[in-house]
Amino acid sequence: MFKKIFGSKNDRYLKKLTPIIARINALEPEMEALADIDFPAKVAAWKGQVAAGEKTLDDLLPECFALVREAGRRAFDPPMRHFDVQLIGGIVLHQGKIAEMKTGEGKTLVATLAVVLNALSGKGVHVVTVNDYLARRDAEWMGQLYNFLGLTVGVIVHGLNDQERQEAYRADITYGTNNEFGFDYLRDNMKFYKEQLVQRPLNFAIVDEVDSILIDEARTPLIISGPGEKSSGLYRRVDAIVPKLVKSSPTDPEDKDAVPDGDFVLDEKTKSITLTDAGVEKVEGLLGLDNLFDPQNIALQHHVLQAVKAHHCFQRDVEYIVKDDQVVLVDEFTGRLMPGRRLSDGLHQAIEAKENVKVEAENQTLASITFQNYFRMYEKLAGMTGTADTEAVEFQQIYGLEVIVIPTNMPMVREDNPDSIYKTQEEKYKAIAEDIEDCHRRGQPVLVGTVSIEKSELISNLLKKLKVPHNVLNAKQHEREAEIVLEAGHKGKVTIATNMAGRGTDIKLGEGVCELGGLHIIGTERHESRRIDNQLRGRAGRQGDPGSSRFYLALDDDLMRLFGSDRLKGIMEKLGLEDGMAIENKMVSNAIEKSQTRVEGHHYEIRKQLLEYDDVMNQQREAIYGLRRELMETKEVESIAREYADDLLEDILEAALDVKGGADKETVESVRARLEEVFNFERFPEWAKSGLPDMDQAHKWVDDIFAYLRASTGEHYQEILRYFLLDSLDRNWKEHLLNMDHLRDGIGLRGYGQKDPKQEYKREGFELFSELVYTIKENALRAFSHLRIQAEVKDDEFKHEDTDDLQYTDSGSAQDKKPVTVRKDAKIPRNAPCPCGSGKKYKKCCGA
Ligand code: ADP
């Protein structure tokens, strides 16, 4: 009612853009009159004006959009002139918002407007796609327009080397996947020389399928890892006992005293496992342990839970497939394979053990970031998708991104039928098969959406029995995908697909299909999120095409079973649903939508929690990466190193010197030991005297240490200091990541007292971080002060090994060839990292 009187916020926003659109349209004759060669000239001139600060991007928007529109007419064959609604989309993107535009509205072309305008800044524009195929396709396709305007385009895809990446990032416009952009960021923060960095500062990104990337994928962070130490034997040993553990049957949630009857309880909603008392005893017996909860068995306990999870929450061909002796994850939302992505925390290894394939070495995290945090670093961020409206609150709260719903170019005429609801799945599938057969007989193309590969196959089998020819689009047929989608709108075609998000190509209708009612969409159950359902529906009715959709549901569908409210059941009973009969009822559909909203809310809370925890890590990462950049780029390495040295020295000495009447013998001894350890003062003859040096004397010795280094390393002095500082930072940061992981795992168990686990995590995380900063300084200093330099240092010997293939492996031996020897008699704690930088413990390396 309110909305009707005042118009929605969205309407008011769109209305405000009307005069701008009018201006762009008014400029059209002027642009039509230009010669082809005028286009790059104009762009170059604007670039100059922006660089000189004479014009802002906003000033140039109308003219620039008008130019791009005319360029679209000339550069493409057949010509593409941006529609007015596409201009609106372009403005929305330029303003750093999310443009919701339905499938087939031409988002790929919409992006060009904001891309070109923002490329005028010369600071780079990133267009983020969901896969390499789309990155290449869009860069090439839209590249015709960019090149016509004299702008350069780069593409970042898997398998490029650093030099190729640098080139692609230097271009005015860079296309690539979220994974590639994110990994490049992480890899850059592991480099040793600024010349090796591939990315420029993050300026503006337009994220295509923004809901897929920022919401669906937000739960899995990007991780760069190197091999850790655990053996595969452990996984196999634990795996062997899982089949002997019995799953408890579900108990009535109302009955608080119900005792589970099995060895473990699986909570289907949260996918969490808990062992029952009987289960614990059984596990102890099977593994030959006295007490599973003994601190020394913490790791084992963890592995048992993961193994049970691997067996009971992960189904082959649903959550993953086994291909070439490897466990490859399947994206739950798109059904695509995700080669290279691994579940963390030993879960992937547990599945490998279950499938009896090679158990990969457990990896240690070297760097990680969530997509949220990566994309939040851009100066400006925008997105586009066909379905963002249902998640508008999350986009606003987490990313500060506003969603604008943009009207379609042609009126939408798709007929969305009410849900058909059946008592059982069996009856439902029968009805679905009949609907498909009917369409097929009449020649109307059908797209059938399922939630899993398994369900796709079930329908495929039904159709085989009915002799209805069809295509199945799922992870296993990845390669033929584009081809199948291209044909899906042709007469008589039947296409079955797991989730359609990010499939790229839109479905165009074949000849004579309009008369038959266009594309018909069948949903075989409701997804947990309404957005995914909308994506499926959105495949029909593009650009004013006819089309229709219907969802088929059953009372025993997972969603209905797990989240359907009792109210829903009540309604159904009142309506008197009989066997084999369907009902179509608005009230029921609404109730289902309510339960979907509840599930969405539940998932949102999980993501928000995750983010709140991740925020702690994120602040630390920003601080460390910031420090790293500074160390990498500064010309004043020496003064930074000196500052660290002075801080440490004062820290250590002051404790003893400040004591009234002099420190006792014990304190003096321990301070001496610390000074020896960190500063190697024993290299100075005066040190032999007992007692402590005064502050001036100590500072002078530190001067001498630096003077010695400077004299013996000559022109390499700064680089050597830089090397040791960065090396110490990386080594300790890696360690810190592991500590933070443990802290986080453990914090959940601390729900005791009045303590808020998140606050505890923050507080202890901060303490760990302060220690980290101290340790970084100390380790670097220890390395400097124990250095004995050999005669000649060759240039390239100090280059850090290329971090190119760090993505899934570690370059652990990178430091082996350093031209540095360590005096054997130096007093370095035996378990400290060896100052030669090998990464081994001192006792196992130079101290051996
Ligand atoms: P979306 O990603 O929004 O679903 P696409 O970018 O895949 O849509 O474009 C759908 C189709 O519409 C493409 O084949 C494209 O060539 C066509 N198209 C988009 N905009 C225009 C336009 N202004 N004029 C002509 N064709 C267009």
505 CA distance to ligand 1 middle (Å): 9
Whose alpha carbon is nearest atom 22 of ligand 1? Answer: 80
399 CA distance to ligand 1 middle (Å): 28
109 CA distance to ligand 1 middle (Å): 7
Confidence of residue 363 (pLDDT cuts 50, 70, 90): low
Ligand 1 pocket test target in 211, 506, 509, 543 with most atoms within 8 Å of CB: 506
Phi, psi values for residue 710, rounded to 5° = -65, -45
Ligand 1 pocket test target in 109, 208, 486 with most atoms within 8 Å of CB: 109
- How far apart are the C-alpha atoms of 172 and 124, rounded to whole Å? 5
Decide if pLDDT at 559 tops 60.
yes
Whose alpha carbon is nearest atom 15 of ligand 1? Answer: 106
Of the candidates 843, 846, 733, 832, the one whose C-alpha atom is nearest the C-alpha of residue 787 is 846
Whose alpha carbon is nearest atom 9 of ligand 1? Answer: 106
Of the candidates 82, 45, 48, the one whose C-alpha atom is nearest the C-alpha of residue 65 is 82
- How far apart are the C-alpha atoms of 533 and 555, rounded to whole Å? 18
Task: Please identify which residue in the block is written with the tokens 């005064």.
Answer: 694
562: CB partners within 8 A, 6+ apart = 268, 269
Binding site annotation covers 104? yes
Binding site annotation covers 226? no
Higher pLDDT, 839 or 611: 611
Q: Is 811 exposed, middle or buried (0-12, 13-18, 19+ CB in 10 A)?
A: middle
> What mean pLDDT, rounded, does the chain reach?
83
Binding site annotation covers 107? yes
335 CA distance to ligand 1 middle (Å): 24
- How far apart are the C-alpha atoms of 788 and 777, rounded to whole Å? 19
- Kindly give the number of the ligand 1 atom that is closest to the alpha carbon of 543: 12
Cα distance between the two ends of the chain: 81
The proportion of the chain whose per-residue pLDDT surpasses 90, expressed as a percent, equals: 41
HEC readout, 38-84: HHHHHHHHHHHHHHCCCCCHHHHHHHHHHHHHHHHHHHCCCCCCCCH
540 CA distance to ligand 1 middle (Å): 14
pLDDT of residue 820: 32
Confidence of residue 608 (pLDDT cuts 50, 70, 90): confident
Whose alpha carbon is nearest atom 2 of ligand 1? Answer: 107
Ligand 1 pocket test target in 80, 98, 141 with most atoms within 8 Å of CB: 80
Ligand 1 pocket test target in 108, 212, 406 with most atoms within 8 Å of CB: 108
406 CA distance to ligand 1 middle (Å): 15
Structure tokens at 812: 């652990």
Which range in 27-36, 426-435, 702-711 is most confidently predicted, on average pLDDT?
27-36
Q: How many other CB atoms are found less than 10 A from the CB of residue 770?
A: 10
Structure tokens at 534: 């909308």
45 CA distance to ligand 1 middle (Å): 30
Phi, psi values for residue 290, rounded to 5° = -80, -45
- Kindly give the number of the ligand 1 atom that is closest to the alpha carbon of 101: 3
Mean pLDDT calculated for residue range 248-262: 78
110 CA distance to ligand 1 middle (Å): 9
Of the candidates 701, 733, 712, the one whose C-alpha atom is nearest the C-alpha of residue 819 is 712
Binding site annotation covers 103? no
- How far apart are the C-alpha atoms of 795 and 716, rounded to whole Å? 8
CA distances from 70 to 24, 229, 356 (A): 11, 60, 60
Higher pLDDT, 73 or 298: 73
Whose alpha carbon is nearest atom 25 of ligand 1? Answer: 80
534 CA distance to ligand 1 middle (Å): 19
Whose alpha carbon is nearest atom 26 of ligand 1? Answer: 80
User: What domains appear along the chain, each with residue ranges and CATH number?
Assistant: 7-223+372-405 (3.40.50.300), 231-360 (3.90.1440.10), 415-602 (3.40.50.300), 634-786 (1.10.3060.10), 815-847 (no CATH)
- Kindly give the number of the ligand 1 atom that is closest to the alpha carbon of 105: 3
CB 170 within 8 A of CB 154: yes
pLDDT of residue 592: 81
148: CB partners within 8 A, 6+ apart = 36, 39, 40, 71, 74, 75
105 CA distance to ligand 1 middle (Å): 6
Decide if pLDDT at 140 tops 90.
yes
Structure tokens at 618: 């994120």
Percent of residues in the chain assigned helix, strand, coil, to nearest 5: 55, 10, 35
CB 803 within 8 A of CB 187: yes
689-698 long-range contacts (CB < 8 A, ≥24 apart) are 692/653, 692/656, 692/657, 692/663, 692/668, 693/653, 694/657, 695/649, 695/650, 695/653, 695/657, 698/649, 698/653
For the stretch 791-840, pLDDT in tens is 444 444 443 333 333 332 222 322 222 223 333 333 455 555 555 555 56
CB 720 within 8 A of CB 713: yes
Decide if pLDDT at 497 tops 90.
no
pLDDT of residue 504: 57
Report the DSSP pairing between strands 320-323 and 326-330. Answer: antiparallel
pLDDT of residue 709: 86
- How far apart are the C-alpha atoms of 713 and 18, rounded to whole Å? 67
210 CA distance to ligand 1 middle (Å): 18
- How far apart are the C-alpha atoms of 502 and 508, rounded to whole Å? 16
- Kindly give the number of the ligand 1 atom that is closest to the alpha carbon of 542: 4
- How far apart are the C-alpha atoms of 657 and 38, rounded to whole Å? 76
- Kindly give the number of the ligand 1 atom that is closest to the alpha carbon of 103: 4
660: CB partners within 8 A, 6+ apart = none
Mean pLDDT calculated for residue range 109-123: 97
Half-sphere exposure in the Cβ direction for 283 (13 Å, CA): 28
For the stretch 503-547, pLDDT in tens is 556 788 998 999 999 999 999 988 888 888 888 888 898 888 999
Decide if pLDDT at 563 tops 80.
no
226: three-class secondary structure by DSSP: strand
Report the DSSP pairing between strands 326-330 and 337-338. Answer: antiparallel
Whose alpha carbon is nearest atom 16 of ligand 1? Answer: 106
pLDDT of residue 808: 28
111 CA distance to ligand 1 middle (Å): 11
CA distances from 78 to 75, 81, 85, 134 (A): 9, 10, 20, 20
- How far apart are the C-alpha atoms of 174 and 167, rounded to whole Å? 10
HEC readout, 200-218: CCCCEEEEECHHHHHHHHH
CA distances from 779 to 629, 723, 726, 728, 731 (A): 19, 12, 11, 6, 9
Decide if pLDDT at 82 tops 90.
yes
pLDDT of residue 119: 98
- Kindly give the number of the ligand 1 atom that is closest to the alpha carbon of 82: 23
| 642, amino acid identity | R
569: three-class secondary structure by DSSP: helix
pLDDT of residue 700: 92
Which range in 119-123, 276-280, 324-328, 538-542 is most confidently predicted, on average pLDDT?
119-123
Mean pLDDT calculated for residue range 42-51: 97
pLDDT of residue 251: 75
DSSP conformation class of 396: I
Binding site annotation covers 86? yes
Decide if pLDDT at 248 tops 70.
yes
Helices (H), 658-756: 665-679, 695-713, 717-747
Range scoring the smallest mean pLDDT among 98-107, 331-340, 486-495, 551-560 = 331-340
Which residues surround ligand 1 with Cβ inside 6 Å?
80-83, 86, 101, 103-109, 506
Beta-bridge partner residues of 207: 128, 383
- Kindly give the number of the ligand 1 atom that is closest to the alpha carbon of 83: 23
- How far apart are the C-alpha atoms of 371 and 706, rounded to whole Å? 42
- Kindly give the number of the ligand 1 atom that is closest to the alpha carbon of 102: 3
Higher pLDDT, 293 or 671: 671
